[in-house]
Structure 1
């Protein structure tokens, strides 16, 4: 499949790598200079497009005319929605997947806005983290890819490598994506400037050694 990933942050980078490893043709669109620099060290130059995904010329440069899927995973709901509308109704992309960052905006992610599939991190967290789970220990909730990758839940202790660090500063997260954080009664959709605190309940997608981050 030919896939366009819009957003080259932590989530977008992980998705792009996984898709390429699965044999797909992937192009990543990113407009932030810092993220572009990192992407260009990870992927071939022709797989990374610099620009704003709401600009049709940028989308065409990324190959949207014959794309099978576009995944909109930026941290800005408004950008994901505008791009989804252009992708679906101007270029007829068969499958448009949109990331919902703010749960209050979830109602906007509909077929009328060009979204075929919406992914809400907050809802994923709410549906998985339930009172019956023992939050004092790391829990493996789902194993993926024949056991090499997992969705795990863990409580951050004062000894954890993640404690009191901003997500953007944690180099060990190369093979781990923080999906959501539960802090008291608050559900947090993590971004680069999110500070992970002691006693946070973290939901993460990680590789086989990812559990060491929570030790």
Structure 2
């Protein structure tokens, strides 16, 4: 998989390192000469250019990329890069960094964003996930399909404890994708019984989140 990353700061370089370790091709783009640190990620391709300029993206051959990641520290730049990647080059997957949570509403398919990653929101969600039992925690928003990745830890005395996954009347537009049980990560099977303390990860439409929380909490009794 070929991935172009706009923004070669600490975030962009870290992402590049992870992708390279997983065997992917990575191109780092930045307009600041001081950001071009080839020795820090020597396996990556580097391009000194403005990722908001069509000529720069032509030079980067963005049409050959499977994924574009807008990882600069400027939300305006990330939006422009995302829009150009999607509309001008037809990149299948565009992931964009959100620096200011107040701007998160802009990062949607209208701006070419498939997945918006807000570091402040993600950190607060992970804190909530660590301390919340029985409450639905939103971990990530997917722009395509208007869906969220949400988590709920099944509380003691939950109505559905002991119930088979296949016997639960899940809300529409909701999918249970993973059960984390202790040190195990389970792909849900219809015969699996839910247990108290299970961390349940769902992809769900925002309109169904309240139904999902009611179903899984003690209030569902």
TM-score range, shorter chain: 0.5 to 0.7
1:82 to partner: Cα distance: 0.6
In structure 1, the gaps of 5 or more residues are 134-215
Query: Which residue number in structure 2 is paired with residue 120 of structure 1?
Result: 118
Deviations 1:155-204 (A, max 9, x none): xxxxxxxxxxxxxxxxxxxxxxxxxxxxxxxxxxxxxxxxxxxxxxxxxx
Count of aligned residue pairs for this structure pair: 131
1:171-210 equivalences in 2 (<5 Å):
none
1:40 to partner: Cα distance: 1.5
Query: Which residue number in structure 2 is paired with residue 173 of structure 1?
Result: none
1:59-208 equivalences in 2 (<5 Å):
59-130=57-128
Q: Distance in 1 between matches of 2:78 and 2:11?
A: 14
Q: Distance in 2 between matches of 1:27 and 1:131?
A: 34
Q: Distance in 1 between matches of 2:111 and 2:55?
A: 20
The root-mean-square deviation of aligned C-alpha atoms, in Å, is 1.8
Q: Distance in 2 between matches of 1:29 and 1:131?
A: 34
Q: Distance in 1 between matches of 2:48 and 2:14?
A: 18
Q: State the TM-score, normalized to the length of structure 1.
A: 0.58
Query: Which residue number in structure 1 is paired with residue 7 of structure 2?
Result: 7
Deviations 1:133-159 (A, max 9, x none): 5xxxxxxxxxxxxxxxxxxxxxxxxxx
Q: Distance in 1 between matches of 2:60 and 2:130?
A: 46
Task: Compare CA radii of gyration and give the structure with the larger one.
Answer: 2
Q: Distance in 2 between matches of 1:57 and 1:45?
A: 24
Q: State the TM-score, normalized to the length of structure 2.
A: 0.56
CA distance 1:91–1:43, change in 2 (3 Å) = same
Q: Distance in 2 between matches of 1:46 and 1:11?
A: 15
1:44 to partner: Cα distance: 4.2
Matched, 1:16 2:16: yes
CA distance 1:132–1:5, change in 2 (3 Å) = closer
8 Å contact 2:71–2:97 — kept in the other structure? yes
